[in-house]
């Protein structure tokens, strides 16, 4: 997929020591991310395509199943529906 995702500026991704995880902060609150979601969103920089993100995560996690790309694509679709990301 050649689409390029970018995080919504209203959501700030950061590591929270108190939560011991990455979170998305936004004006009305916070979303605690699981490790997989955090790894994907850390790759979303407005420059890498979805295919680039899949390749980067397959390289970083060679033990991941072959169909990890499907999971990444599904997560990005969900993140888009929640307005965490959009495509440029």
What would the pLDDT profile of 44-77 be if each residue is shown by its tens digit? Answer: 999 999 999 999 999 999 999 999 999 999 999 9
The predicted-structure confidence for 8-58, as pLDDT tens digits, reads as follows: 999 999 999 999 999 999 999 999 999 999 999 999 999 999 999 999 999
pLDDT mean across residues, the chain: 96
Residue 1: pLDDT over 70: no
What CATH number is given for 5-82 in this structure?
A: 1.10.10.1150
DSSP code, position 84 = S
pTM of the model: 0.94
Pairing of strands 12-16, 21-26: antiparallel
Residues of the chain above pLDDT 90, percent = 97
Cα distance between residue 84 and residue 14, in whole Å: 14
């Amino acid at each position: 997929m050649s689409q390029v995702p970018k995080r919504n500026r209203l959501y700030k991704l950061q590591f929270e020591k108190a939560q011991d995880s990455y979170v998305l902060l936004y004006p009305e609150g916070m979303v605690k991310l699981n490790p997989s979601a955090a790894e994907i969103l850390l790759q979303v920089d407005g420059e890498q395509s979805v295919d680039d993100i899949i390749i980067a995560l397959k390289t970083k996690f060679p033990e991941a199943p072959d169909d990890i790309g499907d999971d990444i694509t599904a997560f990005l679709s969900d993140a888009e529906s929640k307005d965490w990301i959009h495509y440029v």
